[in-house]
Structure 1
Amino acid sequence: MKVLHVITGLGVGGAERQLRLLLRHLPARCDVVTLTNPGAVAEGLRADGVRVRHLGMRGNRDLAAVPRLARLIRHGGYDLVHTHLYRACVHGRIAARLAGTPSVATEHSLGREEIEGRPLTRGTRALYLRTERLGAATVAVSSTVAARLRAWGVPSTRIHTVPNGIDARAFRFDGGRRRAARALLGLPEDAFVVGGVGRLVPGKRFDATVRAVATLPGAWLLLAGDGPEAGALRALAGRLGVADRVRFAGECGEGAAPDVPGVLAAMDVFVSASREESFGLAVVEALAAGLPVVHGACPAVEDLPPGQVPPGAVRLRSPTDPAAELTAVLRRHLAHGPRRLPVPHALDRYDIRLSGRRLMDVYAHALGGPAPAPSAAVPSDPYVHSEPYAPSCPPAPSIRRAHR
């Protein structure tokens, strides 16, 4: 099977990183087209041996982009087109229909009020629904997103839930990695480090984390990622007098910045105060690293059955400004001291190999096969590791003591 993946851009982000990881585990020949911004993930895909093309789309009203993409699909002899993110889904579905090729779309970014980081408008929703009918199936990355699609009017028979996945082994805690990352980032070896990973945009509410850390003299803050809020967050740290205790690592793996497992190893507690999310990949990665997690909206945790919610994950309840609530939670973590937790068994359902197999079932259905079976509540699958995930060293009551 030959598949063309079409995505809005390939800068560093959750959907973009997920695509790169997924292509390593799909038993299909895959090429990638990015409509705009062939950034760091494009370079990573090429390093993996994936062919990446930049369509050079100049804006949402670049009407020539659709026929260019249709010609590329037709001449490439693809069996299937798989689109990712709102703009790529709209343009890619139309182009695939013009080329006479079946298409599947993954909905990574549908929130209650935003899609692909943009406010949801009546026109946006109408265009999405009109083009959704052109594809063979729509993949939701969480049960929460599937419910939103149904509420919009997308028929349940067209929606297939394939959760985002990770390779949990890559995030297992390693003391050497922790020391190396802290030295690289200028973090004291014995500091208590609060951390966050993601695009620096308003919806992630990183400002609340900066405000909370500013009230805790014994805490440091590590933010990994980049985006339009970077300057405002630096200025906020300066106004609050904590610039010396805040580290901005930039995009993980770029320049001198450690990769995601490295920055997670450097942290002692992970915060994701997002107002809304479609999945919450960074939270899952932090749990795989054995970190206590404080989170806002996170379908990856909220969709779990009550008995499987990781005990190390604490939910923020404030709908507007969570800084005060976050401060209280972080103060308790600071008093307890650094610790690593066992990796939750619930993360088995987010194994990237399982995601790849489920997606191949959707592909087969899009090409005329039977509909995939509904996802089981607890996967029993040969693609999932038979042994439970665990940190590379046993949980210790104090990382500071364990690594001196």
Structure 2
Amino acid sequence: MNRIRVSRRVEKKLAKGLVLLEASDLTDIELTDQAVEVLSQDGKFLGSAYLSQQNKGIGWFISKEKVRFNQAFFEILFRKAKEARKPYYQDDLTTAFRLFNQEGDGFGGLTVDLYGDYAVFSWYNSFVYQIRKLIINAFKEVFPEVLGAYEKIRFKGLDYESAYVYGEEAPDYFTVLENGVLYQVFMDDGLMTGIFLDQHEVRGSLVDGLAMGKSLLNMFSYTAAFSVAAAMGGASETTSVDLAKRSRELSEAHFQANGLSTDNHRFIVMDVFEYFKYAKRKGLTYDVIVLDPPSFARNKKQTFSVAKDYHKLISQSLGILNQGGIIIASTNAANVSRQKFTEQIDKGFAGRRYQILNQYGLPADFAYNKKDESSNYLKVISMKVSK
């Protein structure tokens, strides 16, 4: 196994519990796609890591011990992860959740999600992809009850995004439960599956009646999972807006799965900023507005970045929000701290007052590195706007 020496600065970073290795940490090292031993400048052993280019960073520090990334190593990690998720296995109202979450469960670059009887592996770099067979074999040992599995490729360089891996093949579409609500999912159609599992506590607040008797506008709605949760929690009507044409068909499927009539639930294929203008023109207003944009988006007219532009969503929402209404502001941008996100929200409110009802980060199944704020990437704040 190759050895790499790191600077005093990087040694201090690792001692603090920060485990993502970045390009600036290893400026003169050309190794990639391999396990390495990490040494201090004076040759002291610091731990085990691997190097591999991915969307964020160039590798992961894994352990302060000498470890080999073999099947036995992953079996230990998977057993710990399974034990930590006992409450989810015991919850009859939820059958979809995360089984293994990167550095939070001891190995950055890998996630595994459970959708009913099926697992989905996500590989975030080519090193993890290269050792995927031993990871999958370890998983089978620890999770024999999983009927079949799929994989998602979340790094550049391969000619496919999604594939069947082992066991029984899942139906093209099937339903999973979350908070007692049925959602239609699909395992082998690009990187998406029909639902973002990290939002299940926020959807839970809607199922529990946050929007009961209220009208809800769901922006960047994807498959309208927030809208279905709100409808099941007694919302009088919902409007779901997304630019993707396919979003309407996928959204309607969630409503049908729960036996909900779509008479009071609308699905609109339109750019969100265009819809704000349209709603204002038509005098449409709402009691609850959900804002969950992608971290970065570009269309023919403009680009949108959470870090710079989220305040525009807030200010536009205030123009069509009923008196005493609620805004649920959400982002999964790891590069935007909770403080920066709050600053964007305050900029959008421009002095108007609001009361925080609840704040959310990642739910318990999305284990994260408690010593690294960016590891807890999800930030959701639900706010009641003062009259």
TM over 0.5: no
More strand by share: 2
Structure with the bigger RCO (C-alpha within 8 Å, sep 6+) is 1
